[in-house]
Amino acid sequence: MSKKKEKAHNLMEQGENKAELDLDTCGIKVEQHGICAHVFCLFFADSHFQKRPRNYAHLGLFRQVIEKAAQKVCFVCHQSGATITCRETGCDCSFHLPCATQGGCVTQYFGLYRSFCREHRPQQAVDVVPKVGTTCFICLEPVDNQTSYRTMVCPACKHTWFHRDCIQNQAVFTGARCFCCPSCKNKYRFSMEMLTMGIRVPRRPLSWENLHANAEVSGRHSCCDSRECLCPGGREQAQEEGPWQLLLCCSCAAEGTHRRCAYLRCSTASWECNSCADPIRAEKTLQDQPYSIPE
């Protein structure tokens, strides 16, 4: 391996380690020429990946993104390999996607997949402040005395306050189909505001529905859901390792595939089903509603 390629590999490995524990933030891994990256890291890095999300190696863009990242330093962790740059004109502030929340940045998981540093991030346009003693509607812990990066309010009812981390966890838990204000239940205005403020709302069923369904079949999904199962033993046949090991979706755990059926390498440790891994379709529509998300 050349020194240049080895350096690029090390940089992407740093970002990979940062994102290892949060696939909901960074998406699934893709590999090109032995170098791994996460889907959303690529989407925020270059608009070409958004247009052709299933062809990550198109025109050598994968390598170009890596080379650009090698020249940028994350303002949060001060390490190289920062693939994301603030979209504000004239701002060259760069950061890793896993470092975004720690640095107070906003990453918008829809449309053009825009990112903003803490200085240029969008703010909630509300004229209310929480009353003394107001707590987060979700965790019941105190919130800040005004809207901030950490403290948010429902734009519809304007009296339901919550922490950013709490509403993000709820979005991951419910998915786009049922995501709404936890108090007034407003869906459209609330979802649009949260997406703009950097909350990722994945398109997938309720997590508790998946858990309930899995509990009825020995507590774990146990068959291959690929369109064409190639396993000689059938969809329910699985080995502990190798091409016929059954991988469950790392996001919803409601679907599975044999490595060979999904054309994955034997070293691949995680997989995401089509419903969870299609961010373009997910953020353009919520619950199949006929509207487009405004820029």
pLDDT, position 240:
84
Can you list the alpha helix ranges (DSSP code H) found in the chain?
A: 3-19, 23-26, 39-45, 47-51, 61-69, 164-174, 188-196, 207-215, 279-284
200-248 confidence digits (pLDDT tens): 998 765 554 444 443 343 346 788 998 899 999 899 888 888 899 999 8
The answer for residues whose C-beta is within 8 angstroms of residue 194's C-beta and 6 or more apart is 152, 167, 171, 179, 201
Distance (Å, rounded) from C-alpha 201 to C-alpha 284? 11
Q: Is the pTM of this model over 0.85?
A: no
- Are 91 and 117 spatial neighbours (Cβ–Cβ below 8 Å)? yes
The two three-digit tokens of residue 277, written as one number: 């891994």
Distance (Å, rounded) from C-alpha 99 to C-alpha 160? 28
The answer for residues whose C-beta is within 8 angstroms of residue 222's C-beta and 6 or more apart is 236, 238, 246, 256
Beta bridge partners of 271: 249
DSSP state of 131: P
**Dihedral sign from CA coordinates of 110, 114, 117, 119:** negative
The Cβ-side half-sphere exposure at 275, using a 13 Å CA radius, reads 20
Cα torsion through 41, 210, 207, 267, rounded to 10: -30
Distance (Å, rounded) from C-alpha 89 to C-alpha 84? 14
Helix axis angle, 61-69 relative to 3-19, nearest 10°?
80
Residues in the chain with pLDDT values less than 50: 1-5, 7-21, 53, 55, 59, 208-219, 279-295
pLDDT, position 207:
53
pLDDT, position 192:
94
pLDDT, position 277:
62
E runs forming strands in 142-291: 151-153, 161-163, 246-248, 256-258
Residue ranges and CATH numbers for the domains of the chain are 3-116 (3.30.40.10), 123-203 (3.30.40)
Distance (Å, rounded) from C-alpha 68 to C-alpha 48? 15
What does the chain come to in residues? 295
pLDDT, position 251:
66
- Are 295 and 112 spatial neighbours (Cβ–Cβ below 8 Å)? yes
pLDDT, position 197:
96
